Structure 1
Amino acid sequence: MNPTYTPSPGKILMLLALFLLSFQANAQKKNAGYQYHIRKAAGPITIDGIMEDTWLKADSASNFFMVLPMDTSRAKVQTQVRMTYDNNNIYIIAICYTNGPGQYMVESMKRDFNFVKNDNFIFFLDPFDTRTDGFSFGANAAGGQWDGTMYEGGKVDLSWDNKWVSVVKNYPDKWIFEAAIPFKTIRYKKGVGVWGINFSRNDLKSSEKSSWTPIPRQFPTASLAYTGSLVWDELPPEAGTNISLIPYALAGVSKDYQAKTGVAWRKEIGGDAKIGLTSSLNLDLTVNPDFSQVDVDQQVVNLNRYELFFPEKRQFFLENGDLFANFGYTDIRPFFSRRIGLNAPIRFGGRLTGKLDKDWRVGLMDIQTGESDVASSPAENFGVLTLQRRVFARSNIGFMFINKDATGSATPGNQYNRNIGVEYNLASSNNLLTGKLMGIKSFTPGLKGHDLVAAGHIQYLSKYWTMYIQDQYVGKNYTAGVGYVPRVGYNKISPLLLHNFFPKSGGILSHGVQIMSNYYFDENFKRTDNESTLSYLITMRNRSTFTLSAVDTYIKLLVPFDPTNTGKTPLPIGTRNHWNTIDAQFVSKPQALFTYLTEVAYGGYYQSGSKTSVTAQLGYRFQPYVNIAVNTSYNDLRLPQPYGNTNFWLVGPRTDITISNKLYFTTYVQYNGQVKNINTNIRMQWRYQPASDFFIVYGDNSTPSPFMVKNRQLVVKWTYWCNL
């Protein structure tokens, strides 16, 4: 340990609290008494959205509990679920009754829809019944599919994509979801006869969210702490040989008008392989991967002093991705996969991920990149090992080792970077108490001392109260060569307190007061900056929300910074700034065809200046085929010279057209006035069979005034998922 580092009082208190609370975490599963007995199918099942006689012989789960708007009664909108299985698939059918006449509400038939803005049925599988990770499947009322992996007890990563089939059929008084999930699609342990299970229904017409098992309203229906039990009449059959080959072929053409180069042609082949070493342990291999079909990042106006974060969307990195990506905090990530392969091509790689048994999870990754002349980057090898051991009811201890080595020519000090870390994640059986303690050390040539990270938090979340405190220390020499750590050399304390009130009648469902702060200090505990926010939050019974906030900001610059982020003369180190801001935000009810979010903020800014910000997110749906959305922001900065008055527009219209739940067209145009760029991305995706796609993707970048194309490209890509 670094002898110059002394834990803060907050961290010591947090350590004691987590230690004491661990003894309360080993409680029995909350909803263990809610059992669904699944029996082998009495006959063949056809996935067509029709209730066949075979289904009548399966048990039924119904009489759901209301979660929203309140969690004190049974659901008014009825849902009935039945499950069965054969040697190859798990089958599920959900009859979603509607509350009187009227059209269902969906955005489109596109995959992985927004839960809040769609009538939907979703279910959650926890094959090990650990209440920490699992799988989620479902669909909206128009047949748009939803699938994802689950992590941290109730979060769903919708970037995961796998092979399964479903159909939704609409009737005058109901809609029916029917699906077949191959055993090869999910990961489970041989010999485990009780899984975690829950069913969730979102009905916008009645503004009601419901669940098969009772769940407190402050938690999502995805909360695995509140699953019931899926009891098998026989042990689930083995998945058998589970090997999938996913080759791709690509052809493309591009031209860089700024560099005045000729037309460049692309012809590439490559692919992935998925090998099920056991029913719960998977080996992913990739050779010459291509990610040209991945959705583009949403641009933002960057007035931040530190690097922005954009999420990983590439399929290869996603299964069991939480083992790698969620170690640490959002601003302390020792591993961030987007560091790999964006500036240099990935030549090949492998990932071993999954469960060894009910208590142990493992992740092992090794990736080799080639050299990049454009980014002046040498060939590099990235190796990661992560282990996770479940303790008590839902807590775990995690370990991670990260190694980055230059395998080609490298500049001095950049030959390697290594990180080693350990963390303890607390999650009580009822999810009211959660927390974390973590420590990381980096190893970098030429840097010694002040290379540690120590952080932790604890949270209490009930219907009426949210109490949270976090403490972080990041040494000035700490280096995460494959991570996302935008700031080093600081101590940070972040408290939050929220209290909710629930009127018994009227249009307001809940309202409450929240106060939160982020205080930063240097390594000698001298204050450098802080931001404190006092907010009043109102939620209406129709699910619209209103938030009014007052923000107090103080910043002492530790590095030179141009407050416009446009390359002007930066303010010097040590410049002190203090200002206040008032912010108001309104989010409309999700069940309307036209939805919107508006936010207006006005206050001070650097150098005794001022900043006015207006944000709008507009959406309109022509159900179920067309969904139009526009993201817009306007920032007006008024500063003394040499900065003067500056304003930035960001406009991003997007149109999703879904001919069916297998054929999608997306057009996304983004104008960013700060970087003076117009980006256009047009994509067609045809899912000609489960998990197999044909893409046509067009993209270009242009200067807005005078309008001039910088570069453009067209790519045609074919992928095929083959199970051996």
Structure 2
Amino acid sequence: MKKAILMVLICFGLISISFSQKINDAYRLNIRKTTDPIVIDGVLDEVSWNEAEVATDFFMITPMDTSYADVRTDVRMAYDDKHLYLIVVNYHAMEGPYMVESLRRDFSFGKNDNFLLFMDPFDDQINGFSFGANAAGAQWDGIMYDGGKVDLSWDNKWESKVKNYEDRWVFEASIPFKSIRYKSGIKEWGINFSRLDLKTTEKSGWAPVPRQFPSASLAYTGILVWDNPPPAAGPNISVIPYGLGGLSQNRKEGEDPVYRNSFGMDAKIGLGSALNLDLTVNPDFSQVEVDKQVTNLDRFELFFPERRQFFLENGDLFANFGYETIRPFFSRRIGLKAPIQAGARLSGKLNKDWRIGAMTMQTGQVEEENLDAQNFSVLTLQRRVLARSNLSAIVVTRQAGMFTPPLPEDSVSTSEYDRNVGLEFNYASSNNLWTGKAFVLKSFNPMTGGDGLVYAANLRYTSGNLYWNLQHEYVSENYTAEVGYVPRTGFYKINPLVGYLFFPESKKILSHGPEFSTKSFFDTKMNQTDNETYVSYKVRFRTQSVFTTWFAHDYIKLLKPFDPTNLGGEKLQAGTEHQWFAWGTEFTSKPQSIFTYAFVSRLGGYYADGNRYNVSGELGYRFQPYFSMTLNANYNEIHLTEPWGITTFWLVGPRLDLTLTNKFFVTAFVQYNEQVDNINLNTRVQWRFKPASDIFLVFTDNYLPAPFFAKDRSVVLKFTYWWNI
């Protein structure tokens, strides 16, 4: 613990903290109450819009951030007792069609002509909401966290319409006050608007944002000034029941079809204007898209992101503690092998400075897997400090046998409990040039023979040209996080990184520059076990295409036996040392094209003085905005001495997306993974018949490639309805 405290002082003690006023405080947009009803039709014909103040004269962010935007954008806002209104006129700067991928909700930002609103209702420059649309009318909405990141898994009820004209496209939206969280009585919100026009490759913002930061950066928002405090949202209770029916069959084992039907319910209860209670009973996630498969040549467990909606809303409170490979809480552990019976989550703002997150989930007993019923709980409390920083505490626990008689002690496959407690400091300077994190974790598990410890920290600097990051991690050998994601224990890690960007006066190149990093692992006795030294050079063109070339040297001392093909065959012995050089290239084409492509190549050494060659690519075609097709392919060829010899893996994944309207979607996803000898077919039909209310039809098949044989298949029909009480 003393080392952890010392690390915090080293990383942050030398940084001077200023409490200056907000950077873009001078950029203010006045919002007034409507004088007539507003119809969401994409037509600027109401009296309220003619009387509203206009936010215009946007600033260019890219390709340069030193002038006004060439593309004109006008924004007006208004409100009534129940809704916040927005209308945006996006003028064209040159002739030609708009560019979008599809009508699918929560589109990819860089591949669509779009307009986005970033709202900071507490004006704390850390958390907020984002709403927007692309030029074809597909909606975008998400929760903002960490001062500029957007979680697009958040999905709520609001209405919008896009109308296209010869010289402009107009986006009009109505956002219920019940759909967002804000402090009662506050008359100033942080706000900014972002416009991406792919024909000119220009990204712009109303309040100026330096080009090294995303337009979503809440440190650079202006001010939305209310003529009166926004009205209270009023009672906010939503009930979301679901019902489903389906069947599944394990044809490989010759089993008969199994029919199923299920009913459950979610509920959302607003506790004031800034706090929300979510409840779930017998949840089902059969409509969630399948994971994108990867060829696994790693020694450690791979990470697959959470996709279930219940766990994703306000997920930053729970899941952002720690680093990518040191997560004390990872919701995907819940319900992995056992059904979830019920759960509750309290999350949101207590006031401008305090946020809270509390979650508890109960899973059932599974005797055939020797699993007791489990209770998973997490509690986190976050305090805003300094200008844009916060201090967080977290408690994560898994407890066996709660509410259910336990299985015999000699038959269960898990420990009685596993607990983690932690403290984290997230730092961000007022201008966002300096960012960093420091945290400490302590684990408690009766099977480890002791208490585990983690401490880690990093400090990052990002200017217009120079950027660097220094990161250090320590994870003890007996640290456990059974409700987290920590694939490796028993190490020290040091990882410095530095890069530099040149911004030439060129009509073709936006930026280019080198990056250097080295990542070293040591065991707890400070013996080196791994090192990767990586040098790259990246060129970003004004068309938004990107080319990167890199060179790396790897050294690995195996701590456990390892099969370098991950096929379950012969293994290299623990203690053996391996090192090699490798070189590669990456290229991504410009997103404006109807036909897009990307490729990645790698060639060089591998374990046991072998060689590995890898080529992967992506081809995309779209008939905008209704149809898009993507083909991903990945080929690995590994050359080793006997008994492995030459091993090859193909991973192929075509995907088809049909978006007839912004409420009806069809997705077909095929994945052939030679490493696991499987073909997976997942087809999903979704009809959003009302805002946030859906009907899903999902088909899933798994096949043995040769001889072509259906191993198992399932079909599910699911109905959900969002009902406001």
Distance 1:360 1:627 in 2: 44
Partner of residue 710, structure 2:
709
Amino acid at match of 2:671: Q
The CA deviation string for residues 186-226 of structure 1, in whole angstroms up to 9 with x for no partner, is: 01111111111110011100001111111010111011111
Distance 1:372 1:137 in 2: 42
Partner of residue 577, structure 1:
578
Shift of 1:667: 0.4
Identify the match of residue 286 of structure 1 among 280, 288, 303: 280
Identify the match of residue 181 of structure 2 among 183, 187, 192: 187
Distance 2:300 2:289 in 1: 24
* Helix, strand or coil at the partner of 2:310: helix
* Helix, strand or coil at the partner of 1:627: strand
Partner of residue 311, structure 1:
305
The CA deviation string for residues 618-640 of structure 1, in whole angstroms up to 9 with x for no partner, is: 11110110011111110000011
Amino acid at match of 2:98: Y
* Helix, strand or coil at the partner of 1:16: helix
Confirm or deny: 8 A CA contact 2:57 2:206 kept in the other structure: yes
The CA deviation string for residues 458-517 of structure 1, in whole angstroms up to 9 with x for no partner, is: 000011011100000000000001000000000000110001111112422211011011
Partner of residue 631, structure 1:
632
Distance 1:378 1:700 in 2: 30
Amino acid at match of 1:44: P
TM-score by length of 2: 0.97
Amino acid at match of 1:303: L
Identify the match of residue 320 of structure 1 among 311, 314, 328: 314
* Helix, strand or coil at the partner of 1:130: coil
Partner of residue 486, structure 2:
485
Amino acid at match of 2:625: P
Shift of 1:19: 2.4
The change in CA–CA distance for 1:595 and 1:373 in structure 2 (over 3 A counts) is farther
The CA deviation string for residues 583-609 of structure 1, in whole angstroms up to 9 with x for no partner, is: 111111111111111111100000000
Map 1:441-456; keep pairs closer than 5 Å.
Answer: 441-449=442-450, 451-456=452-457
Map 1:590-669; keep pairs closer than 5 Å.
Answer: 590-669=591-670
Distance 1:228 1:506 in 2: 31
Distance 1:375 1:677 in 2: 24
Gaps of 5+ in 1: none
Shift of 1:321: 0.8
Amino acid at match of 1:203: D
Confirm or deny: 8 A CA contact 1:26 1:428 kept in the other structure: no
The yes-or-no answer on 1:228 pairing with 2:207 is no
The yes-or-no answer on 1:127 pairing with 2:121 is yes
* Helix, strand or coil at the partner of 1:389: strand
Map 1:335-484; keep pairs closer than 5 Å.
Answer: 335-373=329-367, 375-407=369-401, 408-409=406-407, 411=412, 414-449=415-450, 451-484=452-485
Shift of 1:273: 0.1
The yes-or-no answer on 1:240 pairing with 2:234 is yes
Shift of 1:261: 1.4
Partner of residue 59, structure 2:
65
Partner of residue 20, structure 2:
27
Amino acid at match of 2:10: L
The yes-or-no answer on 1:96 pairing with 2:90 is yes
Partner of residue 268, structure 2:
274
The CA deviation string for residues 148-191 of structure 1, in whole angstroms up to 9 with x for no partner, is: 11111111111111111111111000101111000000011111
Confirm or deny: 8 A CA contact 1:385 1:401 kept in the other structure: yes
Shift of 1:373: 4.3
Shift of 1:83: 0.4
Partner of residue 148, structure 2:
154
Distance 1:705 1:303 in 2: 23
Map 1:485-524; keep pairs closer than 5 Å.
Answer: 485-524=486-525
Confirm or deny: 8 A CA contact 1:241 1:276 kept in the other structure: yes
Amino acid at match of 2:191: I
Shift of 1:384: 0.8
Distance 2:507 2:682 in 1: 45
Identity of aligned residues (%): 56
Identify the match of residue 324 of structure 2 among 319, 330, 338: 330
Distance 1:631 1:90 in 2: 41
The CA deviation string for residues 65-85 of structure 1, in whole angstroms up to 9 with x for no partner, is: 111111111110111000000
Confirm or deny: 8 A CA contact 2:11 2:457 kept in the other structure: no
Amino acid at match of 1:38: I
Shift of 1:446: 3.3
Amino acid at match of 2:502: F
Confirm or deny: 8 A CA contact 1:25 1:394 kept in the other structure: no
Partner of residue 552, structure 2:
551
* Helix, strand or coil at the partner of 2:642: coil
Distance 2:530 2:14 in 1: 33
Shift of 1:258: 1.8
Identify the match of residue 40 of structure 1 among 17, 33, 36: 33
* Helix, strand or coil at the partner of 2:50: helix
Distance 1:449 1:379 in 2: 25
Map 1:525-536; keep pairs closer than 5 Å.
Answer: 525-536=526-537
Confirm or deny: 8 A CA contact 1:225 1:431 kept in the other structure: yes
* Helix, strand or coil at the partner of 1:269: strand
Shift of 1:448: 4.0
Amino acid at match of 1:274: K
* Helix, strand or coil at the partner of 2:501: strand
Partner of residue 700, structure 2:
699
Confirm or deny: 8 A CA contact 2:103 2:625 kept in the other structure: yes
Shift of 1:13: 6.1
Distance 1:375 1:276 in 2: 38
The CA deviation string for residues 410-453 of structure 1, in whole angstroms up to 9 with x for no partner, is: 63861000000000000001110000110000000032446100
Shift of 1:53: 3.0
Shift of 1:15: 3.0
Confirm or deny: 8 A CA contact 1:519 1:527 kept in the other structure: yes
Partner of residue 671, structure 2:
670
Partner of residue 163, structure 2:
169
Amino acid at match of 2:39: T
The yes-or-no answer on 1:51 pairing with 2:44 is yes
Amino acid at match of 2:163: K
Distance 1:314 1:17 in 2: 36
Distance 2:389 2:18 in 1: 8
Confirm or deny: 8 A CA contact 2:11 2:458 kept in the other structure: no
Distance 2:505 2:413 in 1: 67
Confirm or deny: 8 A CA contact 1:14 1:457 kept in the other structure: no
Distance 1:377 1:60 in 2: 61
Distance 2:344 2:338 in 1: 17
Distance 1:374 1:395 in 2: 47
The CA deviation string for residues 64-108 of structure 1, in whole angstroms up to 9 with x for no partner, is: 111111111111011100000001110001111112221100000
The yes-or-no answer on 1:250 pairing with 2:251 is no
Amino acid at match of 1:671: Y
Confirm or deny: 8 A CA contact 2:534 2:552 kept in the other structure: yes
Map 1:136-151; keep pairs closer than 5 Å.
Answer: 136-151=130-145
Partner of residue 588, structure 1:
589
Distance 2:270 2:18 in 1: 33
Shift of 1:26: 2.9
Confirm or deny: 8 A CA contact 2:443 2:451 kept in the other structure: no
* Helix, strand or coil at the partner of 1:61: coil
What's the RMSD between the two structures over aligned residues? 1.2
Amino acid at match of 1:553: D
Gaps of 5+ in 2: none
Confirm or deny: 8 A CA contact 1:681 1:698 kept in the other structure: yes
Shift of 1:28: 1.9
Amino acid at match of 1:706: P
How many residues get paired?
717
